[in-house]
Every structure is written in C-alpha cells, then in structure tokens.
Amino acid sequence: MRAFFGDGADAPDADGDAVTLAPSTTACDRATLVSMYGDIAPRVHRFLRDLLGDATLASDATQETFVRAFRRVDDLPRATRLVPWVFGVARFVALEMRKARGRVRRVIDDGVAADDRAIDTQARTPEDTLLDREAVAVVERALGRLPEERRAALLLRCDHGLAYDEIAPLMGWSLSKVKVEIFRAREVLRATLQEYRGGGT
Amino acid sequence: MSAVFHDPDEAVERALFERRARVQGGAPGVPSLDEVLRAARDDSGETSSGRRRAWSGLALAAACLVTVIKTRPHDVSPSGITADVDGAASGTTDRGGGMCEEQAAVSSSTLDSTYASIVAVAPATQDSRACVAPPATFESFGTLSCDRDEANRTEMP
C-alpha cells in the first residue's frame, strides 16, 4: 500500500486530485501488473471481501479479476492508470457475482472473528490492540449500514486512496455525485464511531 | 459545498481504514500469481467460458428439438391410416354416409396400439359433448318458441 501512496504525503488530498502513484503504476502492461501483483492483490481481495461480505467468494472474485486484467492489460491505452483500472475490473466482477448468486448478506461477525485472530497473533501493546479492535468493529459496522454503491465509493476513497476523479468513471458517476456520496458515507462512519465510543465508555 | 469536502477530518476515516488494513494485513485466500497466470492462459482464446456456455446451450436446444420431433403424435403418417380405413370400409359396409363408414373401419381395423389409442380418444370426446349439449339447447329453444307463439296469437284475431 505504501508503494502506491507513499507515507501520507502522496495520499490523495481532500480535493481528490493529488494522487501521486509510484512511477511503475503509470506503465500499463503485463510486466507492470506482474510486478505489482504482490502489493495490489491483497488490497483487491479486501475490497472484494468488503463488497461481497464473504472471504471465500472474495478469493474467487480476486482470481477472476486478475485473470481478466492479465488478458486485457496489453490492450489498454498508455494513459490508463493501472490501479484504478484494476479496481474497476474488481467492482465489475463483484457486481456479476452478486447478480449470479443473488444478494449476499454481509457476514460481519465472521470478518470480526478473523480480524480478532489476526490481532491476537501480533505482539502489540494492549492500547494498540484495543484501538485495532475498535477500528475493525467501527468500520465493519459502518460498512454494513451503507448501500452497496456508497460503500464501494467510501472504500475506494478512504481505504484504497483513489482520487475523486478516478472514482467517478469507475462508478459511472459525475464528480459532484462522487463527492456527495463519499461525504454521506463518511457521516455514517463518524456516527458509528461516536456510537461505539459512547457505548464503550 | 467544496468547503465541506475539504474537511480535514477525512484523516480520521483514513486512519481507521489504515489500522484495519494493517490488522488484516496477511489476508488468507489471495490467489498466488502463478495460479492467476495459469488460469488466464487456460481461459483465453477459444475456450472462454462464454463460448462454452453458448455451445452447451446450443447442444441442449438441439437435443430438445430432436426429442420433441421423435415423440410428437403428428409423426403418425395420416396417409397410412386413411389407406387402412378406406380399404376396410369398402369391404364391409355399405355407402350410407361418411361417418358410419369411418367408425366401422376403426372398430374392425388392425392398427397397432399407438394408432388405436389416438383413434379411440376421438369418439369418447364426441360422445361427452353430445351428452352435455342437448339439454341446454332444448331449454333455450323451448322458451323462445313460447314467446313467439304468444306473439302470433295476439296478432291472429
């Protein structure tokens, strides 16, 4: 993730037009995609898991996403930004899978349990562990409250660092709609965080 | 409106997601690169899933068509039946009317079971229609004729 967005200075600003991707991501060919795979595949898997609500389904969707990406990457125009394009393919695959299998209910508890296991295995301070647990719980709960498209937009913006003008064509929305949708999604996330902290103290 | 979206608090959301991503770091279930490349190679060209689906659909439709054609009752050739009926009718009955000749021919013919079952259904349905129809026509016809007679009687004198 750091390879694409740096250490915060390269991350998208609030305008959403200051994404500075690593130079390797500007080339749009098979070799670049191969070299990026190790970094981007876990992110795409997480994105698909958040969209589909099922880790196993997300694995299948990740494979399908990259199979399609590898088949088409050499035909892309050189100006194409590879990371947003791959996320666009992933979203399309998620929509197809949902359509094929019917509406998939998000299984939040399953995700939280898996995350708890991951938290417990890491050597961290109790405070860090508590904050990790809070972050996972709040995000999962907020995502579960969002409609699917708004959830996808929030994930692309806040989790994967895409700019507004990269999200717009990916979602098929205007730039202003992207901003409004993400703003409303962020409101839900903040309200969930308030609830969590209010309930926890 | 843009002032709203310049809200620096987006850092809070991003920190939450970042922490969550770190926790989920080594997510199991991510397919290996080799696996993906192999699948991309196998799935390309002529054997794409879409084409496979199209061909299997076409084969299924053809199989259904063949089955329907084979099991259709219309496949019994009408010329063969007519030949048998005509031959029997001319040999055993007089030429009083077309209907009588045909029924006699059917009862005395040596058709196989398929033909016999087809032919046997037709008279039964005709009989049931004949049983139901007459009472209705009788009632309605009677009332109509009475009204007409009354009208005629008043006009006679």
Distance from CA of A79 to the nearest CA of B (A): 24
Distance from CA of B14 to the nearest CA of A (A): 5
- Indicate whether A55 and A26 sit together in one domain: yes
B35 touches chain A (CB under 8 A): yes
Smallest Cα–Cα separation from B17: which of A142, A101, A30, A88?
A: A142
Token digits of residue B70? 């084979």
Phi, psi of B72 (to 5 degrees): -70, 135
Number of domains in chain A: 2
- Indicate whether A169 and A200 sit together in one domain: yes
Of B12, B26, B36, Cβ closest to residue A66: B36
pLDDT at residue B111 is higher than 90: no
A16 found inside a domain: no
Instruction: For residue B49, list chain A residues with Cβ-Cβ distance below 8 A.
Output: none
- Indicate whether A27 and A78 sit together in one domain: yes
pLDDT at residue B46 is higher than 50: no
- Indicate whether A36 and A73 sit together in one domain: yes
- Indicate whether A172 and A138 sit together in one domain: yes
Query: What pLDDT digit, counting tens, does each position of A157-183 carry?
Result: 999 999 999 999 999 999 999 999 999
B27/A63 touch (CB, cutoff 8 Å), yes or no: no
User: Is residue A40 a contact partner of residue A83, using CB atoms and an 8 Å limit?
Assistant: yes
> Which residues make Cβ contacts (< 8 Å) with residue A70, sequence separation at least 6?
A30, A33, B36, B37, B40
Q: What is the domain range of residue A28?
A: 22-106
pLDDT at position A28 is 77
Q: What is the mean pLDDT of residues B102-107?
A: 46
- Indicate whether A93 and A156 sit together in one domain: no
Q: What is the mean pLDDT of residues A22-28?
A: 53
- Indicate whether A84 and A155 sit together in one domain: no
- CATH value at residue A175: 1.10.10.10
B29/A55 touch (CB, cutoff 8 Å), yes or no: yes
- Indicate whether A90 and A154 sit together in one domain: no
A62/B40 touch (CB, cutoff 8 Å), yes or no: no
A66/B4 touch (CB, cutoff 8 Å), yes or no: no
A39 found inside a domain: yes
Query: Which of B4, B10, B23 to probe the A interface (max A CBs under 10 A)?
Result: B23
B7/A15 touch (CB, cutoff 8 Å), yes or no: no
Smallest Cα–Cα separation from A89: which of A73, A112, A103, A101?
A: A73
A135 found inside a domain: yes
A6 found inside a domain: no
A166 found inside a domain: yes
pLDDT at position B9 is 63
Q: By CA distance, what is B39's nearest residue in A? A: A67
A72 found inside a domain: yes
- Indicate whether A63 and A28 sit together in one domain: yes
- Indicate whether A34 and A73 sit together in one domain: yes
**pLDDT band of A133, cuts 50, 70, 90:** confident
**pLDDT band of B61, cuts 50, 70, 90:** very high
Question: Is the pTM here over 0.90, yes or no?
Answer: no
Q: Which of A106, A128, A161 is the last residue of a domain?
A: A106
User: Is residue A19 a contact partner of residue A167, using CB atoms and an 8 Å limit?
Assistant: no
pLDDT at position B112 is 61
Complex ipTM: 0.72
**pLDDT band of B63, cuts 50, 70, 90:** very high
- CATH value at residue A43: 1.10.1740.10
